Amino acid sequence: MLKTTIEEKPWVLVKFAQALVCPLGTVGILFGVTAIAGYVSAIEELYRPITDGAATNPLTAICMILIGFAIRNRNNHKYERWLSRLLAFLVMIVISTLFVDTVSDSNISALITPFQHQVQLDLQMGKAMIWGANLPPCFFSLLLA
């Protein structure tokens, strides 16, 4: 009788997904730093890649950087876990201000937004600079993961 040996590769997809964590964290950091560099250097193309299109809000860029650093901490050292949780907590505070702004029609997030003068100038010129409704749930889901 001929036996067929099936070679199973358990957890292949999980290992593949875990291998993507650091590179994707780095990409998030790079996107966030690029947007912030656009605000610092007054190069609109860095935070608004499509002319008259939507722009990356400075708080979004900062959240991307914080989440990127939080997920790049792959070691199980106690201080790195603590740092990841601290960064996630900071992003959670920003998301909470956005949620409060949406629910109560307030403008609390403007108090913590860097480059607020540039954001206001873009809004006065009629350019798109609003938070997407999907951003808080997406960031919240990333933090839970």
Model confidence pLDDT, tens digit, residues 127-140? 887 777 788 788 88
pLDDT of residue 17: 85
Residue 10 in this model has a pLDDT that exceeds 70: yes
How crowded is residue 140: how many other Cβ atoms within 10 Å of its Cβ? 15
pTM to 2 decimal places: 0.82
The DSSP letter of residue 140 is H
- d(CA 36, CA 46) in angstroms, rounded, equals 8
Sign of CA dihedral 135, 130, 87, 29: positive
- d(CA 52, CA 26) in angstroms, rounded, equals 28
Contact between 88 and 98 (Cβ < 8 Å): no
Domain locations in the chain as residue ranges: 15-144
Say how many Å lie between the first and final Cα of the chain, rounded.
Answer: 48
Model confidence pLDDT, tens digit, residues 62-120? 999 999 998 887 666 777 888 888 998 999 999 888 888 878 888 888 888 899 889 88
